[in-house]
Chain A
Amino acid sequence: MAFKGTIEIDIQRCKGCSVCIGNCPNKCIRLAKAVNSKGYRYAELANDSCVGCASCAMVCPDSVITVYRVKI
Chain B
Amino acid sequence: MDIISDIKKPENMVYGRPALLTDNVMHYCPGCSHGTVHKIVAEVIEEMGIQDRTIGISPVGCSVFAYNYIDIDWQEAAHGRAPALATATKRLCPDKYVFTYQGDGDLASIGTAEIIHACSRGENIVVIFINNGIYGMTGGQMAPTTLLGMKTSTTPYGRDPKLNGFPLKITEMLAALDGTAFITRQSVHTAAAVRKTKNAIRKGFEYSMKDVGLSFIEVVSTCNSGWKLSPVEANAWMVEHMFVKYPLGDIKDVLK
- A residues sitting closer than 8 Å to B (CB atoms) are 4-6, 8, 13, 15-19, 21-23, 40, 48, 52-55, 57-70
Chain A residue with the shortest CB-CB distance to B195 = A58
Q: Is the CB of B191 within 8 A of A54?
A: yes
- B residues sitting closer than 8 Å to A (CB atoms) are 3-4, 6-9, 12-18, 21, 25-26, 28-36, 39, 188-191, 194-195, 230-232, 235
Q: Is the CB of B21 within 8 A of A63?
A: yes
Q: How far is the CA of A57 from the CA of B6 in the complex (A)?
A: 20
Q: How far is the CA of A62 from the CA of B31 in the complex (A)?
A: 8
Q: Is the CB of A66 within 8 A of B15?
A: yes
A-side contacts of B28, CB under 8 Å: 61
Question: Known contacts A17-B31, A48-B4; is A62 also within 8 Å of B26 by CB?
Answer: yes
A63 CB contact (under 8 Å) in B3, B18, B195: B18
Q: How far is the CA of A22 from the CA of B239 in the complex (A)?
A: 14
Q: How far is the CB of A18 from chain B (nearest CB, A)?
A: 5
Q: Is the CB of A61 within 8 A of B35?
A: yes
Q: Is the CB of A57 within 8 A of B15?
A: yes
Q: Is the CB of B39 within 8 A of A16?
A: no
B-side contacts of A52, CB under 8 Å: 7, 14
A-side contacts of B12, CB under 8 Å: 68-70
Question: Known contacts A15-B30, A16-B30, A17-B31; is A58 also within 8 Å of B15 by CB?
Answer: yes
Chain B residue with the shortest CB-CB distance to A71 = B12
Q: Is the CB of A19 within 8 A of B232?
A: yes
A-side contacts of B13, CB under 8 Å: 66-68
Q: How far is the CA of A60 from the CA of B34 in the complex (A)?
A: 11
Q: Is the CB of A69 within 8 A of B30?
A: no
A-side contacts of B26, CB under 8 Å: 61-62
Q: Is the CB of A62 within 8 A of B14?
A: no
Q: How far is the CA of A67 from the CA of B15 in the complex (A)?
A: 5
Question: Known contacts A40-B30, A58-B15; is A68 also within 8 Å of B7 by CB?
Answer: yes
Q: How far is the CB of A69 from chain B (nearest CB, A)?
A: 5
Chain A residue with the shortest CB-CB distance to B31 = A17
Q: Is the CB of A18 within 8 A of B14?
A: no
A-side contacts of B16, CB under 8 Å: 57, 65-67
Q: How far is the CB of B4 from chain A (nearest CB, A)?
A: 5
Task: Give me 29 A-to-B residue pairs in the complex whose CB atoms sit less than 8 angstroms apart, sorted by A's number.
Answer: A4-B3, A15-B31, A17-B30, A17-B231, A22-B232, A48-B3, A52-B7, A52-B14, A54-B14, A54-B15, A55-B190, A55-B191, A57-B15, A57-B16, A58-B191, A58-B194, A59-B191, A59-B194, A61-B30, A61-B31, A61-B32, A62-B26, A63-B39, A65-B15, A67-B15, A67-B16, A68-B12, A68-B13, A68-B14
A-side contacts of B36, CB under 8 Å: 59-61
B-side contacts of A6, CB under 8 Å: 4, 7-8
Q: Is the CB of B190 within 8 A of A59?
A: yes
A-side contacts of B31, CB under 8 Å: 15, 17-19, 61
Q: How far is the CA of A67 from the CA of B25 in the complex (A)?
A: 20
B-side contacts of A54, CB under 8 Å: 14-15, 191
